[in-house]
Chain A
Amino acid sequence: MQEKHTMPAPARHYFWNDPDKRALVFQIIVTVAILGLAFVVVENTLSNLEKRGITTGFDFLSQESGFGIIQSLVEYDETHSFGKTFIVGLLNTILVSVLGIILATVVGFLVGVGRLSNNWLVARVCGAYVEIFRNIPLLLQILFWYFAVLRTLPSPRQSLDLYDTFFLNIRGLYIPAPIFQEGAIWIGVALLLAIASVWVIKRWAEQRQLASGKTFPVFYTAAVIVIGLPLLAWFMTGQPVHWEVPALKGFNFRGGYAVIPELCALLIALTLYTASYIAENVRSGIEAVNKGQTEAAFALGLPKSRTMQLVIIPQAMRVIIPPLASQYMNLIKNSSLATAVGYPDLVAVFAGTTLNQTGQAVEIILITMSVYLLMSLLVSLLMNMFNKKMALAER
């Protein structure tokens, strides 16, 4: 009994009491377990596929697809390969994502700034917008726009029209398309020239302002040049660009660009849904800029617009950009809901139709997932670079 009151003799050093060795053993066990699990899964999959008579591998990519796709940015018909369906789907995903990102950014910034408006009514309307659209599942919104709105539009003969140039009916949205004739290239050249000269003028104006303090109305000059120069080229080359206005021929519209209703519905829903999140990012970004910053700028005599441009926005953007990037990523991922209304995006075409036709589930799902994974890795890489640069600039 006496021993209990004395210090215990130093215990023998068992190797499992050494934290480093313990960690090493634990890591080895986990690795073995995971590899073992992976082995079992691969084994099962191979035997299951064999029983179903599905050959593994990526050979199917070169086989003829045999199905059509309602919208393609590149040349495609049913004689093209399954590999081409991947390209078509990917391009359609990119198309709707890029358009969605642009529109959602515009709407999101407007609503976000609107929520901070001094005007009570505007702030309330913007707040209601955010609370409504971000609390309803995106899928429901896509289905709503497609089935409840666009699918109930009138037939082509009773199209809704705007000045007889834009037409909206159950088959989609028809907008005029430019027809380029000989000499049209000069208009493009003029436009490029105009953009280049605006850039030069902007640089010059900045230099001059820094050197002499004199300001120059860059915006108006730029507007005149960018609109004026191509217009001048258009007249001088004998008006070689015409607008082909869609027109009702028989049962449908011919000419112009046709935007399929699936794309419209997806785009509207993605834009309104993502914009409600972007608006919140914008609002909190601007609110994150200390009120003292505005006051200090005002106290120095800077007018409201300059305070925004030189003090508030540069600081707010640092807060806004990282969550904005993850919203863009969410939009790209959410565009996969296209499959619910039949817009031929990557998931609908490749992980949907192509998978059903070939049965190559494993390969197709892995390819599809890798595409999204690559995109999000790219976005987070860019974000890390951005954050590092910002961290450097402030300390």
Chain B
Amino acid sequence: MIVNENPVAARPAPASNRGIWGWMRQKLFSSPANTVLTVVTGWLLYIGLTPVISWSFIEADWFGSDRSACDGGACWVFITARIEQFIYGFYPEDLRWRVDLVFLQTGLLLLWLMPQSMPGKKWGVIYALSIFPISSFFLLSGGLGLEMVDTHKWGGLMLTLVLALVGIVAALPFGVLLALGRRSEMPVIRFFCTTFIEVWRGVPLITVLFMASVMLPLFVPEEVVFDKLVRALIGIVMFQSAYMAEVVRGGLQAIPRGQYEAAAAMGLGYWKMMRLVILPQALKMVIPGIVNTFIALFKDTSLVLIIGLFDLLAIVQAGLADPKWLGFAIEGYVFAGFVFWFFCFSMSRYSQSLEKRLNTGHKA
């Protein structure tokens, strides 16, 4: 028999397991093979990254008015000199405050809606879905006493954001309807919705854009003329609503049967049941999925370059062909790539944090 009444006090871990050295021993040099791997990777990183860093920061030139300001290293002057064009496209200079106002609203809305706890989120959503789109429409295109600005003058980051935001907001209601239709008990409705969804998901966006720009004008009477931007938006929204439908369907499928049965037992009809019980739960559940399709859409907007709209990528691409600024392709693409990366990466991080939040919410 053994009795040990005196507890052994906890001791700190041996030095080899603690601190920076313990960490390195475990994570970098735990075995000979691992050590070799660390050294080789480190060496490759060193020879790969040093020239990149020196080119893009140390030897780079940042400001100036023309290419003579550049000598060796990256010529960011190409970007800084044209930054206004990259943001606003060919929007008239004296009217750019209107675009700024839309940017400002967007930024404030994001600050309002994204954090976990903010007062009056409901009003934020209502504002985002009513006043914001209407005011943005008139601010950007004119009317109501504002000078009209034709859409072919829109471009740059502003156009990219317009395409992506309109695409996602308009695709959401269609996506919900399509998802409900695909899960409907009426065979005809199910057939049409399934076909619509699978066709758009099965073809590349570029053929959809071709179709929108080439075939759409043929589908309507000759008198009806669509703007190029509107045509692209129609294509994007149709394409996007198919993907949105699949995301929403995932949420609908995740709602337990009991919820449907409870709602039916309370005497709610189909639309009331969906509106009051099922969709609020399903949509909340798929917010990360919606953010992910938004990221995909945001990247896909760059395809409008092929049908001749000047989004951020297209306007950078056009700038590269400027005879005064030949030879700065790398700078141009790196800048555009960084802007896209920044937006997409932050959104994907946001979606991941939402996912974590929702997961813990369900377990609790």
Interface residues of A, Cβ cutoff 8 Å to B: 23, 26-27, 30-31, 34, 41, 44-45, 48-49, 51, 117-122, 125, 131-132, 135-141, 143-144, 147-148, 151-152, 333-334, 336-337, 339-340, 347, 351, 355, 361-362, 365, 368-369, 372-373, 375-377
B-side contacts of A151, CB under 8 Å: 329
A133 CA to B341 CA, complexed, in Å? 9
A-side contacts of B333, CB under 8 Å: 140, 143-144, 147-148
Whether a CB of chain A sits under 8 angstroms from the CB of B189 is: yes
Q: Ordered nearest first, which 10 A-B pairs have the shortest CB separation?
A: A120-B27, A376-B202, A135-B344, A148-B329, A333-B204, A27-B188, A137-B299, A137-B302, A336-B204, A144-B333
Interface positions, chain B 293-349, Cβ under 8 Å from A, are 295, 299-300, 302-303, 305-306, 313, 317, 320, 327, 329-330, 332-333, 336-337, 340-341, 344-345, 348
Listed by A's residue number, 8 A-B pairs whose Cβ atoms lie within 8 Å are A26-B186, A45-B215, A45-B219, A48-B222, A125-B45, A152-B329, A337-B306, A369-B203
Task: Among A23, A44, A51, A336, point to the contact of B219 (Cβ < 8 A).
Answer: A44
With A119-B27, A125-B41 known as contacts, the answer to whether A23 contacts B186 (CB < 8 A) is: yes
Are A334 and B345 closer than 8 Å at their CB atoms?
no
A26 CA to B189 CA, complexed, in Å? 9
With A23-B186, A147-B320, A361-B215 known as contacts, the answer to whether A135 contacts B341 (CB < 8 A) is: yes
B-side contacts of A120, CB under 8 Å: 27-28
Whether a CB of chain A sits under 8 angstroms from the CB of B218 is: yes
Q: How far is the CB of A363 from chain B (nearest CB, A)?
A: 10
With A44-B219, A121-B41, A365-B210 known as contacts, the answer to whether A148 contacts B330 (CB < 8 A) is: yes
Are B189 and A44 closer than 8 Å at their CB atoms?
no
Task: Among B203, B221, B317, B344, point to the contact of A44 (Cβ < 8 A).
Answer: B221
B-side contacts of A121, CB under 8 Å: 28, 37-38, 41-42, 45
A144 CA to B214 CA, complexed, in Å? 28
Q: How far is the CB of B293 from chain A (nearest CB, A)?
A: 13
Are A361 and B330 closer than 8 Å at their CB atoms?
no
Interface positions, chain B 203-229, Cβ under 8 Å from A, are 203-207, 210-211, 214-215, 217-222
Whether a CB of chain A sits under 8 angstroms from the CB of B153 is: no
Are B337 and A136 closer than 8 Å at their CB atoms?
yes
Extra inter-chain contacts (10) besides given A44-B219, A140-B336, A143-B313, CB under 8 Å:
A23-B186, A45-B215, A117-B37, A137-B302, A139-B302, A140-B333, A140-B337, A141-B337, A148-B329, A355-B214
A-side contacts of B135, CB under 8 Å: none
Are A44 and B37 closer than 8 Å at their CB atoms?
no
Are B28 and A44 closer than 8 Å at their CB atoms?
no
Are B192 and A373 closer than 8 Å at their CB atoms?
no
A26 CA to B188 CA, complexed, in Å? 10
With A119-B34, A377-B202 known as contacts, the answer to whether A337 contacts B303 (CB < 8 A) is: yes
Q: How far is the CB of A116 from chain B (nearest CB, A)?
A: 13
B-side contacts of A30, CB under 8 Å: 188-189, 192
Whether a CB of chain A sits under 8 angstroms from the CB of B359 is: no
Whether a CB of chain A sits under 8 angstroms from the CB of B201 is: yes
Q: How far is the CB of B247 from chain A (nearest CB, A)?
A: 14
